[in-house]
Amino acid sequence: MNEPHTVLDKGWVQLEEMMGGDEAVIRGARICYQSTSSSSDADERLIRRLIRSEPKHNTVFEHAVFRFSVKCPIFVARQWLRHRIGTFNERSLRYCIAKREYYVPAERENLDAYQKHMERSFDLYQRLLEAGWRREQARGVLGTSVYTEFIWTVNAWSLMNWLSKRYHKSAQWEHRQYADAILGIFKEAMPITAAAFEEYVLKS
Ligand SMILES: Cc1cc2nc3c(=O)[nH]c(=O)nc-3n(C[C@H](O)[C@H](O)[C@H](O)COP(=O)(O)OP(=O)(O)OC[C@H]3O[C@@H](n4cnc5c(N)ncnc54)[C@H](O)[C@@H]3O)c2cc1C
């Protein structure tokens, strides 16, 4: 298990497991052409060509698969779970009691009021539980800055699609912090693919 990377004030991302890597992409591509690797330079050139080629030969990148563990505010998770090509399982507030943990933005006006509101909502949540409310109904009083946890299994192609949208400057700043952390993990795990993706997709 790899170390978690801290994101925002209380969140993190962690690579739990991965299958394949740049080698899996090369294997996928070479079977198509019935070719063999002549050198590591030739393999690198092949991946770089595949990333920028049109139309995309995307399936070769789907042989590399990651499973991440993520802790983020519910509003980030709501955006993240819109990405359909991947598999998620999230901690359920029907079955679990919410922890008193919520995202606090840095240095904003009225931060006190924001925090007081969040604390009061947790006080009310607690009172409702004690009064016999079901967890699934009592959670309705909590805000979307409450932290949630999920695991995400995603192949490298879908991961790059997510990065191209959530690392983009038009994405919400908080979500971009997660994209930045995962881009760092991606670069370590698949250095050739990630470098080509940065050069031809993210920076283009
Ligand atoms: C900056 C930003 C702002 C956004 N604002 C909003 C918003 O205001 N409201 C809102 O509802 N959403 C919003 N979204 C979410 C956005 O519309 C997408 O749902 C989300 O980014 C997932 O992207 P995706 O479909 O490419 O990913 P995935 O769901 O992982 O799909 C990957 C790819 O698979 C293909 N695919 C998957 N499913 C289908 C399908 N049913 N039909 C055809 N092709 C498919 C597509 O090529 C797709 O790109 C926003 C996203 C961003 C990045």
pLDDT, the chain, mean? 96
Last residue of a domain, one of 119, 141, 163: 141
Distance from C-alpha of 49 to C-alpha of 196, rounded to nearest angstrom: 9
pLDDT at 108: 87
Count of domains observed in the chain: 2
| pLDDT at 116 > cutoff 80 | yes
Residues 20 and 119 in one domain: no
Q: How confident is the model at residue 72 (pLDDT cuts 50, 70, 90)?
A: very high
Pocket of ligand 1 (CB under 6 A): 82-85, 158, 161, 165, 170-171
Residues 55 and 154 in one domain: yes
In a domain? residue 106: no
pLDDT at 3: 93
Q: How confident is the model at residue 35 (pLDDT cuts 50, 70, 90)?
A: confident
| pLDDT at 181 > cutoff 70 | yes
* Catalytic site residue from 91, 108, 135, 166: 166
pLDDT at 51: 96
- What is the span of the domain harbouring residue 164? 5-91+147-202
Residues 119 and 34 in one domain: no
| pLDDT at 58 > cutoff 80 | yes
The angle that helices 173-189 and 156-166 make with each other, rounded to 10 degrees, is 140
What atom in ligand 1 is closest to the CA of residue 161?
Answer: 26
Contact between 163 and 178 under an 8 Å Cβ cutoff? The reply is no
Residues 29 and 13 in one domain: yes
Q: Kindly report the CA angle at 70 between 67 and 74, in degrees rounded to 5?
A: 135
Residues 69 and 124 in one domain: no
pLDDT at 1: 65
In a domain? residue 84: yes
| 128 C-alpha to ligand 1 centroid (Å) | 37
In the residue annotation, 78 being an active-site residue is answered as no
Measured between its terminal Cα atoms, the distance across the chain in Å is 34
| 26 C-alpha to ligand 1 centroid (Å) | 28
Burial profile 52-65: b = 16 or more Cβ within 10 angstroms, e = fewer: eeeeeebebbbbbb
Longest dimension (CA), the chain: 70
